[in-house]
């Protein structure tokens, strides 16, 4: 039986590319096709979906602030769920355009173990700092008060109901400005990947003269690393800390999006995003004949993780806190870590080796 190897995350960095000496390299044309398929069939369309969700949220928030009502507030909350879902599908891509101008951190400031982001958001709301209601000045503030978790509190935290009335005008303007910021970033990310000569073309044209990727293998490794690290982040910073050791000691508020009860939706979308990325590679066309089974094995692991999370979400009309206090749901979530680990193991060693690559040094493993 294959053994699972758990990895403790310490930082989100990756260094080095190398050729494996146990498997002949896959022909460059096959890898180039896999990279191109990933860019064109998953990455760019997925960023387009995030952009569309951000546009809807921005419009909904503008309507709420101009005509406050419970119905308008519910529309914003629903649009926020779509933003979280579509962002979680592309959360793995912390490289490329996401690194420019701290775009990723301005969307998701996580983890925040000391709750500094929440403290800053609460301070802005208490002081009614008008500089937080202008896109230009908001973007000059801490990344912790600009992104999705700040919006999560504004839309679902203590006092959120005021936005349905004129008395909540400041909170609404602040939330609407964050929605503008999310839209601004989503446009920059989509354009950064899809524009002619953009990051998508950069990955597809990898070669000796390329400033970023000296070979198609390096471009493929970037995708492999992103997929592996996202699953590690999901398992080790989102799923396991809230579970703790038992139902009695579980701490659901350690998970992101617990206020909006979008925790499981976000986790499921993380897994589905990686599964769709892997599927877009069409690895059956790149792997040697005696390694073809890895495609199905990886899909199986991801499918089992997704199903465990899905079954928990639909098991009953419970909040995330309610799921963790119910033994059956708690056990499902605990089980989900096993296939996640299986997928991580495949993406760390088996798949890169079969492609004639190895994962290289991963600083997430420590010193």
Which pTM does this prediction carry?
0.91
Mean pLDDT of 3-7: 38
Count the domains in the chain.
1
User: Is residue 8 one of the residues assigned to a domain?
Assistant: no
CA 212, CA 199: separation in Å to the nearest integer? Answer: 10
User: Is residue 6 one of the residues assigned to a domain?
Assistant: no
Mean pLDDT of 58-86: 98
Residue 1 reports pLDDT greater than 50: no
User: Is residue 291 one of the residues assigned to a domain?
Assistant: yes
Of residues 285 and 66, more confidently modeled:
66
Domain of 258, CATH number, reads: 1.20.1420.20
User: Is residue 13 one of the residues assigned to a domain?
Assistant: no
Residue 361 reports pLDDT greater than 50: no
Burial-class residue 310 by CB neighbours within 10 Å (0-12, 13-18, 19+). middle
Distances (CA, A) of 136 to 38, 121, 188, 245: 34, 17, 15, 45
DSSP strands (E only) in the chain? 18-19, 357-358
Least confident of 12-21, 189-198, 235-244: 12-21
Q: Residue 25 has what pLDDT?
A: 63
Q: Residue 328 has what pLDDT?
A: 96
Residue 65: domain span: 18-365
Residue 293 reports pLDDT greater than 70: yes
Mean pLDDT of 210-226: 95
pLDDT digit string, tens, across residues 257-285: 999 999 999 999 999 999 999 999 999 88
Placement of tokens 């609407």 in the chain: 176
CA 131, CA 139: separation in Å to the nearest integer? Answer: 10
User: Is residue 154 one of the residues assigned to a domain?
Assistant: yes
Residue 3 reports pLDDT greater than 60: no
Q: Residue 211 has what pLDDT?
A: 87
Mean pLDDT of the chain: 91
Q: Residue 287 has what pLDDT?
A: 94
Q: Which residues pair with 15 in a beta bridge?
A: 361
Residue 245 reports pLDDT greater than 80: yes
pLDDT over 70 percentage in the chain = 90
Mean pLDDT of 230-252: 97
User: Is residue 3 one of the residues assigned to a domain?
Assistant: no
pLDDT digit string, tens, across residues 127-183: 999 999 999 999 999 999 999 999 999 999 999 999 999 999 999 999 999 999 999
Residue 22 reports pLDDT greater than 90: no
pLDDT digit string, tens, across residues 333-351: 999 999 999 999 999 999 9
Q: How many CB atoms lie within 10 A of CB 71?
A: 11
User: Is residue 4 one of the residues assigned to a domain?
Assistant: no
Mean pLDDT of 62-74: 98
Residue 23 reports pLDDT greater than 80: no
Least confident of 18-22, 229-233, 271-275: 18-22
User: Is residue 11 one of the residues assigned to a domain?
Assistant: no
């Amino acid at each position: 039986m294959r053994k699972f190897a758990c990895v403790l995350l310490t930082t989100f960095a990756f260094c080095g590319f190398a050729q494996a000496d146990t498997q002949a390299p896959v022909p460059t044309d096959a890898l180039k096709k896999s990279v191109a398929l990933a860019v064109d069939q998953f990455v760019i369309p997925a960023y387009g979906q995030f952009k569309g969700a951000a546009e809807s949220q921005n419009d909904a928030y503008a309507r709420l602030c101009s005509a406050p009502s419970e119905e308008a507030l519910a529309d914003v909350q629903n649009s926020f769920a779509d933003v979280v879902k579509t962002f979680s599908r592309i959360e793995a891509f912390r490289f490329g355009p996401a690194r420019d101008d701290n775009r990723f951190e301005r969307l998701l400031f996580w983890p925040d173990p000391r709750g500094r982001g929440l403290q800053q958001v609460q301070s802005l709301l208490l002081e009614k700092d008008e500089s937080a209601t202008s896109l230009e000045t908001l973007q000059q503030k801490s990344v912790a008060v600009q992104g999705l978790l700040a919006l999560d509190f504004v839309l679902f935290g203590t006092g959120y109901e005021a936005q349905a009335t004129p008395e909540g005008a400041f909170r609404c303007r602040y939330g609407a400005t964050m929605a503008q910021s999310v839209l601004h970033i989503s446009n920059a990310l989509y354009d950064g990947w899809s524009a002619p000569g953009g990051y998508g073309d950069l990955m597809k044209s990898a070669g000796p003269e390329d400033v970023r990727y000296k070979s198609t293998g390096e471009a493929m490794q970037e995708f492999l690393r992103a997929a592996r690290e996202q699953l590690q982040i999901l398992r080790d910073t989102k799923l396991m800390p809230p579970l703790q050791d038992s139902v009695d000691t579980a701490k659901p508020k350690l998970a992101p999006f617990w206020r909006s009860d979008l925790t499981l939706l976000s986790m499921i979308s993380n897994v589905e995003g990686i599964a769709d990325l892997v599927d877009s590679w069409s690895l059956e066309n790149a792997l040697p004949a005696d390694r073809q089974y890895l495609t199905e094995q990886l899909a199986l692991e991801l499918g089992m993780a997704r199903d465990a999370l899905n079954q928990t979400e639909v098991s009953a009309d419970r909040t995330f806190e309610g799921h963790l206090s119910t033994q059956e749901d708690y056990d499902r979530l605990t089980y989900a870590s096993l296939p996640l680990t299986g997928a991580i193991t495949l993406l760390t060693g088996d798949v890169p080796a079969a492609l004639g690559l190895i994962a290289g040094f991963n600083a997430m493993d420590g010193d």
